[in-house]
Copies of this chain bind each other. A is one copy, B any other.
Amino acid sequence: MLIHPDRLFPVEPAARDVARRLYEQVRDLPIISPHGHTDPRWFAKDEPFPDPATLFVIPDHYIFRMLYSQGVRLEELGIPAKDGSPGERDPRAIWRRFASHYHLFRGTPTRLWLDHTFSTLFGFTERLSAANADAYYDRIDAALRTPEFRPRALFERFRIEAIATTESPLDPLAHHEAIRQSGWKGRVVTAYRPDPVVDPEFEGFRQNLARFGEITGHDTSTWSGYLDAHRTRRAFFRRYGATSTDHGHPTARTADLSQADAEALFRRVSTGDATPEDAEMFRAQMLTEMAAMSVEDGMVMQLHPGSFRNHNDALYRRFGRDMGADIPLQTDYVRALKPLLDRFGNEPNFTFILFTLDETSYSRELAPLAGHYPALKLGPAWWFFDAPEGMRRFRELTTETAGFYNTVGFNDDTRAYLSIPARHDVARRVDCAYLANLVTTHRLDEDEAHEVAYDLAYRLAKEAYKL
Protein backbone atom coordinates (compact mmCIF):
# COMPACT_ATOMS: atom_id res chain seq x y z
CA MET A 1 0.00 0.00 0.00
CA LEU A 2 1.41 3.37 -0.97
CA ILE A 3 -0.23 5.39 1.78
CA HIS A 4 -1.03 4.34 5.29
CA PRO A 5 -4.19 5.49 7.09
CA ASP A 6 -2.15 6.59 10.14
CA ARG A 7 0.57 8.44 8.26
CA LEU A 8 1.97 11.49 10.06
CA PHE A 9 0.15 10.67 13.29
CA PRO A 10 2.06 10.29 16.56
CA VAL A 11 3.56 6.83 17.04
CA GLU A 12 2.63 6.54 20.70
CA PRO A 13 -0.72 4.70 20.77
CA ALA A 14 -2.58 7.05 23.12
CA ALA A 15 -1.60 10.12 21.16
CA ARG A 16 -2.29 8.37 17.86
CA ASP A 17 -5.79 7.56 19.00
CA VAL A 18 -6.49 11.19 19.79
CA ALA A 19 -5.05 12.24 16.43
CA ARG A 20 -7.25 9.70 14.64
CA ARG A 21 -10.35 11.02 16.38
CA LEU A 22 -9.50 14.61 15.57
CA TYR A 23 -8.66 13.81 11.96
CA GLU A 24 -11.81 11.79 11.48
CA GLN A 25 -13.83 14.98 11.95
CA VAL A 26 -11.85 17.09 9.47
CA ARG A 27 -10.64 14.68 6.79
CA ASP A 28 -13.65 15.20 4.54
CA LEU A 29 -14.17 18.91 5.03
CA PRO A 30 -14.26 20.89 1.78
CA ILE A 31 -11.02 22.45 0.63
CA ILE A 32 -10.56 26.19 0.90
CA SER A 33 -7.55 27.11 -1.22
CA PRO A 34 -7.17 30.87 -0.77
CA HIS A 35 -3.70 31.21 -2.25
CA GLY A 36 -2.25 29.22 -5.14
CA HIS A 37 -1.02 29.13 -8.67
CA THR A 38 -3.30 26.82 -10.61
CA ASP A 39 -3.96 27.92 -14.18
CA PRO A 40 -7.45 29.38 -14.72
CA ARG A 41 -7.24 28.13 -18.30
CA TRP A 42 -7.74 24.59 -16.96
CA PHE A 43 -11.10 25.49 -15.49
CA ALA A 44 -12.09 27.67 -18.44
CA LYS A 45 -11.27 25.11 -21.16
CA ASP A 46 -11.68 21.90 -19.17
CA GLU A 47 -9.34 20.09 -21.57
CA PRO A 48 -7.57 16.84 -20.69
CA PHE A 49 -4.07 17.05 -19.26
CA PRO A 50 -1.67 15.91 -22.00
CA ASP A 51 0.51 13.14 -20.54
CA PRO A 52 2.19 12.12 -17.26
CA ALA A 53 5.48 13.91 -17.90
CA THR A 54 3.84 17.16 -18.95
CA LEU A 55 1.50 16.97 -15.99
CA PHE A 56 3.92 15.97 -13.24
CA VAL A 57 7.52 16.67 -14.21
CA ILE A 58 8.03 19.48 -16.71
CA PRO A 59 6.20 22.29 -14.90
CA ASP A 60 7.20 21.37 -11.34
CA HIS A 61 10.47 22.90 -10.19
CA TYR A 62 10.26 21.03 -6.88
CA ILE A 63 10.60 17.84 -8.85
CA PHE A 64 13.13 18.77 -11.49
CA ARG A 65 15.39 20.75 -9.15
CA MET A 66 15.97 17.58 -7.12
CA LEU A 67 17.00 15.64 -10.22
CA TYR A 68 19.07 18.61 -11.38
CA SER A 69 20.88 18.74 -8.03
CA GLN A 70 21.99 15.17 -8.68
CA GLY A 71 23.32 15.78 -12.14
CA VAL A 72 20.34 15.30 -14.46
CA ARG A 73 20.35 18.10 -17.02
CA LEU A 74 17.15 20.11 -17.49
CA GLU A 75 17.26 19.36 -21.21
CA GLU A 76 16.89 15.67 -20.39
CA LEU A 77 13.68 16.49 -18.53
CA GLY A 78 12.10 18.39 -21.39
CA ILE A 79 12.39 21.82 -19.80
CA PRO A 80 12.13 24.32 -22.65
CA ALA A 81 15.07 26.69 -23.05
CA LYS A 82 14.46 30.34 -23.84
CA ASP A 83 16.19 30.10 -27.20
CA GLY A 84 13.92 27.28 -28.27
CA SER A 85 16.76 24.79 -28.51
CA PRO A 86 15.45 21.26 -28.39
CA GLY A 87 15.48 19.16 -25.25
CA GLU A 88 13.98 15.77 -24.67
CA ARG A 89 10.63 15.56 -26.47
CA ASP A 90 9.52 12.08 -25.60
CA PRO A 91 7.33 12.27 -22.49
CA ARG A 92 7.84 8.59 -21.80
CA ALA A 93 11.63 9.06 -21.74
CA ILE A 94 11.23 11.96 -19.32
CA TRP A 95 8.94 9.86 -17.13
CA ARG A 96 11.48 7.02 -17.05
CA ARG A 97 14.21 9.40 -15.97
CA PHE A 98 11.99 10.71 -13.23
CA ALA A 99 11.02 7.20 -12.09
CA SER A 100 14.61 5.99 -11.99
CA HIS A 101 15.47 8.86 -9.61
CA TYR A 102 12.44 8.44 -7.38
CA HIS A 103 14.64 7.48 -4.41
CA LEU A 104 15.96 11.05 -4.31
CA PHE A 105 12.61 12.16 -2.90
CA ARG A 106 12.81 9.96 0.18
CA GLY A 107 11.91 12.02 3.21
CA THR A 108 10.55 14.93 1.15
CA PRO A 109 7.03 16.36 0.87
CA THR A 110 7.14 15.81 -2.89
CA ARG A 111 7.28 12.11 -2.25
CA LEU A 112 4.33 12.35 0.13
CA TRP A 113 1.99 14.04 -2.31
CA LEU A 114 3.08 11.95 -5.27
CA ASP A 115 2.38 8.70 -3.44
CA HIS A 116 -0.94 10.10 -2.26
CA THR A 117 -1.88 11.04 -5.80
CA PHE A 118 -0.64 7.81 -7.37
CA SER A 119 -2.62 5.86 -4.80
CA THR A 120 -5.88 7.77 -4.50
CA LEU A 121 -6.30 8.94 -8.11
CA PHE A 122 -4.68 6.16 -10.08
CA GLY A 123 -4.94 3.19 -7.77
CA PHE A 124 -1.26 2.29 -7.60
CA THR A 125 -0.15 0.08 -4.73
CA GLU A 126 3.50 -0.31 -5.63
CA ARG A 127 6.12 2.42 -5.25
CA LEU A 128 7.25 4.10 -8.46
CA SER A 129 10.62 2.82 -9.70
CA ALA A 130 12.57 2.29 -12.89
CA ALA A 131 11.06 -1.18 -13.08
CA ASN A 132 7.44 -0.10 -13.14
CA ALA A 133 7.90 3.27 -14.87
CA ASP A 134 6.16 2.16 -18.04
CA ALA A 135 3.26 0.57 -16.23
CA TYR A 136 2.81 3.79 -14.29
CA TYR A 137 3.05 5.85 -17.45
CA ASP A 138 0.49 3.82 -19.30
CA ARG A 139 -2.08 3.75 -16.57
CA ILE A 140 -1.82 7.48 -15.84
CA ASP A 141 -1.81 8.33 -19.53
CA ALA A 142 -4.95 6.33 -20.09
CA ALA A 143 -6.70 7.85 -17.09
CA LEU A 144 -5.92 11.38 -18.24
CA ARG A 145 -7.94 10.76 -21.41
CA THR A 146 -11.08 9.96 -19.41
CA PRO A 147 -13.70 12.55 -18.45
CA GLU A 148 -13.09 11.87 -14.75
CA PHE A 149 -9.64 13.43 -15.07
CA ARG A 150 -10.71 16.69 -16.69
CA PRO A 151 -9.97 19.73 -14.51
CA ARG A 152 -13.59 20.45 -13.55
CA ALA A 153 -14.32 16.82 -12.69
CA LEU A 154 -11.24 16.75 -10.48
CA PHE A 155 -12.28 20.03 -8.87
CA GLU A 156 -15.50 18.41 -7.75
CA ARG A 157 -13.84 15.16 -6.79
CA PHE A 158 -11.31 17.13 -4.71
CA ARG A 159 -14.24 18.78 -2.91
CA ILE A 160 -12.85 22.27 -3.51
CA GLU A 161 -15.23 24.85 -2.13
CA ALA A 162 -13.19 27.80 -3.39
CA ILE A 163 -9.82 28.24 -5.03
CA ALA A 164 -7.87 31.42 -5.77
CA THR A 165 -5.52 31.76 -8.69
CA THR A 166 -2.98 34.57 -8.88
CA GLU A 167 -2.85 37.11 -11.68
CA SER A 168 -0.93 40.18 -12.69
CA PRO A 169 -2.84 43.46 -13.02
CA LEU A 170 -1.97 43.25 -16.71
CA ASP A 171 -3.84 39.99 -17.11
CA PRO A 172 -7.18 40.42 -18.90
CA LEU A 173 -8.74 37.70 -16.73
CA ALA A 174 -10.20 36.20 -19.88
CA HIS A 175 -10.15 32.67 -18.43
CA HIS A 176 -11.95 33.86 -15.34
CA GLU A 177 -14.51 35.53 -17.59
CA ALA A 178 -14.88 32.31 -19.57
CA ILE A 179 -15.44 30.32 -16.38
CA ARG A 180 -18.26 32.68 -15.45
CA GLN A 181 -19.75 32.56 -18.93
CA SER A 182 -19.67 28.79 -18.92
CA GLY A 183 -22.21 28.44 -16.20
CA TRP A 184 -20.01 25.97 -14.34
CA LYS A 185 -20.50 26.35 -10.62
CA GLY A 186 -16.95 25.75 -9.40
CA ARG A 187 -15.76 28.74 -7.40
CA VAL A 188 -12.50 29.91 -8.96
CA VAL A 189 -11.50 33.44 -7.99
CA THR A 190 -8.50 35.55 -8.89
CA ALA A 191 -6.06 37.41 -6.62
CA TYR A 192 -4.28 40.68 -7.34
CA ARG A 193 -0.51 40.23 -7.60
CA PRO A 194 0.88 43.57 -8.74
CA ASP A 195 4.63 42.79 -8.70
CA PRO A 196 5.04 43.46 -12.45
CA VAL A 197 3.84 47.06 -12.00
CA VAL A 198 5.14 47.60 -8.44
CA ASP A 199 8.68 46.28 -8.61
CA PRO A 200 10.96 48.57 -10.66
CA GLU A 201 13.34 45.63 -11.08
CA PHE A 202 10.72 43.38 -12.66
CA GLU A 203 11.38 42.56 -16.31
CA GLY A 204 9.73 45.16 -18.53
CA PHE A 205 8.63 47.38 -15.67
CA ARG A 206 8.37 50.56 -17.72
CA GLN A 207 6.46 48.92 -20.53
CA ASN A 208 4.27 47.33 -17.88
CA LEU A 209 3.45 50.76 -16.51
CA ALA A 210 2.44 51.99 -19.95
CA ARG A 211 0.25 48.95 -20.50
CA PHE A 212 -1.22 49.42 -17.02
CA GLY A 213 -2.30 52.90 -18.09
CA GLU A 214 -3.88 51.68 -21.32
CA ILE A 215 -5.84 48.94 -19.57
CA THR A 216 -7.18 51.17 -16.83
CA GLY A 217 -7.53 54.49 -18.64
CA HIS A 218 -5.39 56.33 -16.10
CA ASP A 219 -2.29 58.39 -16.71
CA THR A 220 0.29 56.09 -15.18
CA SER A 221 3.05 58.56 -15.85
CA THR A 222 1.90 60.46 -12.75
CA TRP A 223 1.89 59.21 -9.20
CA SER A 224 -1.78 59.93 -8.65
CA GLY A 225 -2.76 58.37 -11.97
CA TYR A 226 -0.68 55.33 -11.16
CA LEU A 227 -2.41 54.91 -7.81
CA ASP A 228 -5.80 55.36 -9.46
CA ALA A 229 -4.89 52.65 -11.96
CA HIS A 230 -4.39 50.30 -9.02
CA ARG A 231 -7.74 51.26 -7.54
CA THR A 232 -9.49 50.68 -10.83
CA ARG A 233 -7.77 47.38 -11.47
CA ARG A 234 -8.37 46.11 -7.94
CA ALA A 235 -12.08 46.80 -8.48
CA PHE A 236 -11.91 44.90 -11.78
CA PHE A 237 -10.28 41.94 -10.02
CA ARG A 238 -12.97 41.99 -7.37
CA ARG A 239 -15.53 41.51 -10.14
CA TYR A 240 -13.84 38.14 -10.67
CA GLY A 241 -14.11 37.20 -7.07
CA ALA A 242 -10.77 38.52 -5.83
CA THR A 243 -10.75 39.01 -2.07
CA SER A 244 -7.01 39.36 -1.68
CA THR A 245 -3.81 40.87 -2.97
CA ASP A 246 -0.39 39.26 -2.81
CA HIS A 247 3.06 40.79 -2.80
CA GLY A 248 6.29 38.91 -3.45
CA HIS A 249 9.09 41.22 -2.37
CA PRO A 250 12.76 40.51 -1.68
CA THR A 251 12.37 42.03 1.80
CA ALA A 252 9.51 43.00 4.13
CA ARG A 253 10.52 46.64 4.05
CA THR A 254 7.73 49.22 4.12
CA ALA A 255 7.84 53.01 3.96
CA ASP A 256 5.59 55.95 4.58
CA LEU A 257 6.94 58.80 2.48
CA SER A 258 5.50 62.26 2.18
CA GLN A 259 3.37 62.93 -0.89
CA ALA A 260 6.20 64.96 -2.43
CA ASP A 261 8.85 62.34 -1.77
CA ALA A 262 6.62 59.58 -3.10
CA GLU A 263 5.97 61.58 -6.28
CA ALA A 264 9.65 62.24 -6.79
CA LEU A 265 10.48 58.59 -6.22
CA PHE A 266 7.80 57.50 -8.67
CA ARG A 267 9.23 59.89 -11.24
CA ARG A 268 12.65 58.29 -10.91
CA VAL A 269 11.50 54.69 -11.07
CA SER A 270 9.02 55.30 -13.90
CA THR A 271 11.56 57.06 -16.07
CA GLY A 272 14.31 54.52 -15.49
CA ASP A 273 16.56 56.70 -13.36
CA ALA A 274 16.17 54.52 -10.30
CA THR A 275 19.02 53.18 -8.17
CA PRO A 276 18.65 49.79 -6.45
CA GLU A 277 17.85 51.68 -3.25
CA ASP A 278 15.14 53.61 -5.11
CA ALA A 279 13.68 50.35 -6.30
CA GLU A 280 13.67 48.94 -2.79
CA MET A 281 12.14 52.12 -1.41
CA PHE A 282 9.47 52.14 -4.08
CA ARG A 283 8.47 48.57 -3.28
CA ALA A 284 8.42 49.57 0.40
CA GLN A 285 6.21 52.57 -0.24
CA MET A 286 3.88 50.54 -2.44
CA LEU A 287 3.24 48.03 0.34
CA THR A 288 1.95 50.89 2.43
CA GLU A 289 -0.11 52.24 -0.48
CA MET A 290 -1.59 48.79 -1.05
CA ALA A 291 -2.45 48.62 2.65
CA ALA A 292 -4.19 51.98 2.37
CA MET A 293 -6.26 50.67 -0.52
CA SER A 294 -7.08 47.50 1.40
CA VAL A 295 -8.41 49.63 4.23
CA GLU A 296 -10.63 51.32 1.64
CA ASP A 297 -11.78 48.34 -0.40
CA GLY A 298 -11.55 45.49 2.09
CA MET A 299 -9.14 43.27 0.14
CA VAL A 300 -6.99 41.06 2.32
CA MET A 301 -3.29 41.79 1.87
CA GLN A 302 -0.60 39.07 1.76
CA LEU A 303 3.16 39.53 1.92
CA HIS A 304 5.56 36.79 0.77
CA PRO A 305 9.02 38.23 1.30
CA GLY A 306 12.55 36.96 1.50
CA SER A 307 13.42 35.02 -1.65
CA PHE A 308 16.58 35.63 -3.65
CA ARG A 309 15.09 34.87 -7.06
CA ASN A 310 16.99 33.19 -9.89
CA HIS A 311 20.15 32.63 -7.88
CA ASN A 312 21.66 30.39 -10.58
CA ASP A 313 22.68 32.87 -13.20
CA ALA A 314 23.57 30.44 -16.00
CA LEU A 315 20.30 28.59 -15.60
CA TYR A 316 18.33 31.82 -15.53
CA ARG A 317 19.91 32.98 -18.76
CA ARG A 318 19.23 29.67 -20.48
CA PHE A 319 15.81 28.72 -19.06
CA GLY A 320 14.33 31.81 -17.40
CA ARG A 321 12.50 32.10 -14.08
CA ASP A 322 11.25 29.41 -11.72
CA MET A 323 13.96 26.85 -12.30
CA GLY A 324 14.25 25.84 -8.64
CA ALA A 325 16.95 28.38 -7.84
CA ASP A 326 15.01 30.74 -5.60
CA ILE A 327 16.83 30.73 -2.27
CA PRO A 328 15.55 32.16 1.03
CA LEU A 329 17.25 35.06 2.71
CA GLN A 330 17.34 36.15 6.30
CA THR A 331 14.38 38.49 6.71
CA ASP A 332 13.71 41.23 9.24
CA TYR A 333 10.10 42.08 10.05
CA VAL A 334 10.30 44.19 13.19
CA ARG A 335 11.91 47.29 11.75
CA ALA A 336 10.78 46.61 8.19
CA LEU A 337 7.05 46.61 8.88
CA LYS A 338 6.96 49.49 11.33
CA PRO A 339 6.07 52.29 8.84
CA LEU A 340 3.10 50.33 7.53
CA LEU A 341 2.01 49.15 10.98
CA ASP A 342 2.29 52.66 12.37
CA ARG A 343 -0.37 53.67 9.87
CA PHE A 344 -2.59 50.63 9.65
CA GLY A 345 -1.60 48.06 12.27
CA ASN A 346 -4.50 48.99 14.54
CA GLU A 347 -7.15 49.15 11.81
CA PRO A 348 -10.04 46.87 12.75
CA ASN A 349 -11.05 46.25 9.13
CA PHE A 350 -7.66 45.48 7.70
CA THR A 351 -6.20 41.98 7.41
CA PHE A 352 -2.50 41.70 6.63
CA ILE A 353 -1.20 38.13 6.33
CA LEU A 354 2.54 37.54 6.69
CA PHE A 355 4.54 34.63 5.33
CA THR A 356 8.21 33.84 5.78
CA LEU A 357 11.05 31.77 4.36
CA ASP A 358 13.12 32.52 7.44
CA GLU A 359 11.98 30.22 10.23
CA THR A 360 13.98 32.16 12.79
CA SER A 361 11.36 34.87 12.57
CA TYR A 362 8.48 32.60 13.68
CA SER A 363 9.05 32.84 17.41
CA ARG A 364 11.26 35.91 17.52
CA GLU A 365 9.29 38.31 15.37
CA LEU A 366 6.17 37.03 13.68
CA ALA A 367 4.36 35.47 16.63
CA PRO A 368 4.98 38.48 18.89
CA LEU A 369 3.81 40.86 16.13
CA ALA A 370 0.72 38.80 15.27
CA GLY A 371 -0.01 38.28 18.96
CA HIS A 372 -0.33 42.03 19.31
CA TYR A 373 -1.43 43.92 16.17
CA PRO A 374 -5.14 43.58 15.33
CA ALA A 375 -4.43 43.76 11.59
CA LEU A 376 -1.76 41.07 11.49
CA LYS A 377 -2.24 37.36 10.94
CA LEU A 378 0.31 34.65 10.24
CA GLY A 379 0.14 32.71 7.05
CA PRO A 380 1.00 29.01 7.27
CA ALA A 381 4.40 27.41 6.80
CA TRP A 382 5.45 28.43 3.28
CA TRP A 383 7.40 26.89 0.42
CA PHE A 384 10.40 24.96 1.74
CA PHE A 385 8.59 24.66 5.09
CA ASP A 386 5.28 23.39 3.66
CA ALA A 387 6.12 19.86 4.79
CA PRO A 388 5.47 17.81 7.92
CA GLU A 389 8.52 18.86 9.94
CA GLY A 390 8.22 22.45 8.75
CA MET A 391 4.53 22.59 9.63
CA ARG A 392 5.18 21.11 13.05
CA ARG A 393 7.87 23.71 13.74
CA PHE A 394 5.47 26.44 12.63
CA ARG A 395 2.98 25.40 15.31
CA GLU A 396 5.59 24.78 17.99
CA LEU A 397 7.24 28.13 17.36
CA THR A 398 4.18 30.34 17.00
CA THR A 399 1.35 28.92 19.12
CA GLU A 400 2.69 29.71 22.57
CA THR A 401 2.94 33.41 21.69
CA ALA A 402 0.29 34.02 19.03
CA GLY A 403 -2.16 31.22 19.78
CA PHE A 404 -4.14 29.54 16.98
CA TYR A 405 -6.47 32.42 16.21
CA ASN A 406 -3.87 34.78 14.85
CA THR A 407 -3.12 32.23 12.13
CA VAL A 408 -5.17 31.63 8.99
CA GLY A 409 -5.33 27.90 8.33
CA PHE A 410 -3.63 26.33 5.35
CA ASN A 411 -2.62 27.57 1.88
CA ASP A 412 -1.46 25.01 -0.65
CA ASP A 413 0.30 27.67 -2.77
CA THR A 414 0.75 25.21 -5.59
CA ARG A 415 0.81 24.94 -9.37
CA ALA A 416 0.52 21.16 -9.11
CA TYR A 417 -3.23 20.71 -9.37
CA LEU A 418 -3.23 17.02 -8.57
CA SER A 419 -1.30 17.65 -5.36
CA ILE A 420 -3.97 19.81 -3.76
CA PRO A 421 -5.88 17.11 -1.86
CA ALA A 422 -2.64 15.57 -0.64
CA ARG A 423 -1.29 18.89 0.59
CA HIS A 424 -4.42 19.76 2.53
CA ASP A 425 -4.48 16.25 3.90
CA VAL A 426 -0.89 16.58 5.14
CA ALA A 427 -1.71 19.91 6.80
CA ARG A 428 -4.76 18.45 8.50
CA ARG A 429 -2.82 15.44 9.71
CA VAL A 430 0.10 17.49 11.03
CA ASP A 431 -2.23 19.87 12.83
CA CYS A 432 -4.17 16.95 14.33
CA ALA A 433 -0.89 15.37 15.45
CA TYR A 434 0.16 18.64 17.06
CA LEU A 435 -3.20 18.97 18.79
CA ALA A 436 -3.09 15.35 19.91
CA ASN A 437 0.23 16.09 21.56
CA LEU A 438 -1.30 19.05 23.41
CA VAL A 439 -4.21 16.86 24.50
CA THR A 440 -2.13 13.93 25.70
CA THR A 441 0.24 16.23 27.57
CA HIS A 442 -2.86 17.83 29.10
CA ARG A 443 -2.37 21.29 27.73
CA LEU A 444 -5.68 21.30 25.88
CA ASP A 445 -8.95 19.43 26.36
CA GLU A 446 -10.07 17.12 23.59
CA ASP A 447 -13.35 18.95 23.00
CA GLU A 448 -11.38 22.13 22.38
CA ALA A 449 -8.95 20.29 20.13
CA HIS A 450 -11.84 19.23 17.92
CA GLU A 451 -12.91 22.82 17.57
CA VAL A 452 -9.37 23.97 16.80
CA ALA A 453 -8.88 21.17 14.24
CA TYR A 454 -12.01 22.33 12.42
CA ASP A 455 -10.89 25.94 12.58
CA LEU A 456 -7.42 25.15 11.19
CA ALA A 457 -8.76 22.87 8.45
CA TYR A 458 -11.60 25.07 7.28
CA ARG A 459 -12.99 28.03 9.18
CA LEU A 460 -9.93 30.24 9.64
CA ALA A 461 -8.98 30.24 5.95
CA LYS A 462 -12.56 30.89 4.92
CA GLU A 463 -12.97 33.78 7.30
CA ALA A 464 -9.53 35.36 7.00
CA TYR A 465 -9.81 35.42 3.21
CA LYS A 466 -13.52 36.28 3.22
CA LEU A 467 -14.30 33.30 1.00
Contacts and interface: CB of A to CB of B under 8 A. Distances in A.
Interface string A351-387: 0000001111001110111111110100000001101
Interface in A1-36: 3-4, 6-12, 14-15
A441 interface: yes
A11 B334 contact: no
A68 B315 contact: no
A396 interface: yes
Nearest to A332: B330
Interface stretch (A47-55, A104-112, A196-204, A209-217): A104-112
A69 interface: yes
A372 B69 contact: yes
Interface in A396-421: 396-397, 399-406
Interface centre among A103, A106, A358 (most CB of B within 10 A): A106
B106 A444 contact: yes
A71 B348 contact: yes
A172 B373 CA distance: 37
Nearest to A402: B69
Contact of A324 (B69, B338, B342, B372): B372
Interface stretch (A133-141, A183-191, A267-275, A305-313): A305-313
A401 B108 contact: yes
Contact of A328 (B111, B368, B437): B368
B71 A374 contact: yes
Interface string A67-102: 011110000000000000000000000000000000
A441 B392 CA distance: 14
Interface range for A: 35 or more
B342 A313 contact: yes
B371 A65 contact: yes
A248 to B, nearest CB: 16
A232 interface: no
B324 A328 contact: no
* Residue of A107, A365, A438 most packed against chain B (CB within 10 A): A107
B365 A107 contact: no
Contacts of A390: 363, 400
B441 A328 contact: no
A197 B216 CA distance: 59
A329 interface: yes
A345 interface: yes
B389 A396 contact: yes
B108 A400 contact: yes
Nearest to A441: B8
Contact of A397 (B65, B388, B389, B396): B389
A371 to B, nearest CB: 5
A327 to B, nearest CB: 5
A308 B456 CA distance: 31
Nearest to A313: B342
Contact of A7 (B12, B338, B442): B442
Given A70-B374, A70-B405, A357 B364 contact: yes
A348 B387 CA distance: 29
20 contacts: A3-B442, A7-B441, A11-B12, A11-B441, A66-B403, A69-B376, A69-B406, A71-B348, A103-B405, A107-B403, A107-B443, A108-B403, A111-B443, A308-B335, A330-B332, A358-B360, A359-B360, A359-B363, A363-B385, A384-B400
Given A7-B443, A112-B443, A314-B342, 5 more contacts: A11-B15, A107-B404, A311-B341, A358-B364, A387-B401
**Which 10 A-B pairs have CB atoms at the shortest separation, nearest pair first?**
A4-B442, A7-B442, A387-B400, A107-B399, A11-B440, A328-B364, A384-B401, A11-B12, A327-B368, A389-B396
